[in-house]
Amino acid sequence: MFKKTFSAILLPVFFVLLSNVNIPCLASNTARSEVESASISVYERITPSIVAIDADLEQGISSGTGCIIDPSGVILTSSHVINQSKNIEVTTQSGKTYKATVFAVLKDKNDLALIKITPKEKLPTIRLGDSETVKVGQRVLAIGNPFGFRGTLTTGIISRIDYDRKKLQTDAAINPGCSGGPLLNLDGEVIGINQSIYNPDNNRSNIGIGFAVPVNYAKEFITLAKTTGKFR
């Protein structure tokens, strides 16, 4: 569980009265760039299909993020978020909280899991893309719940593709609580599942090097879960 501490720095405000100086007003309806418009559109479309996850572990509360992949309440997340948990709570974007059960866990370095909630209504779902088409330098967005701040959007690029470790590297800010959340392209498709950050100094906060599991491995995992009868 992360303790939230807020500090405020009060900065003095100085008013300078200038005579005979014309200061142009900024236009209130500044045209948005294509990238800004795409980011806003993706966030508004995708956020309803993103959930917050809190799991009781022996060490304390493990917090993460999940993606709804089936309207019946099947959620894709990182296995380390819910591993060996006796109690899992899922909170949707609308604020509803559900108990979740573990459907399937992928026990390898891809660190994926499927959990299930039972809502009374159909839930909005996320669209899985194709990580084979990902290129270094392309714009990406991450949506998650860092330190409990639900529905946080961060942006960046694909910084590197680690083919040996099967990871997408990004500078989009990923912090504790973001694990299991989506890394998205500008079309709103999931191209990766956010997993970890690089911290050489043991600082738990983001330093600009984050990693996501390519979504094609998640698609293989989901297909396997379906064929083995653990996903209905």
Catalytic residues: 80, 111, 179
Q: How far apart are CA 76 and CA 224, in angstroms?
A: 14
Comparing CA positions, the residue from 170, 179, 157, 177 lying closest to residue 209 is 170
Phi, psi torsion values for 54, nearest 5 degrees: -130, 120
* C-alpha dist (Å) from residue 32 to 29, 45, 101, 178: 9, 18, 43, 28
For residue 88, count CB atoms less than 10 angstroms from its CB and return exposed for 0-12, middle for 13-18, buried for 19 or more: buried
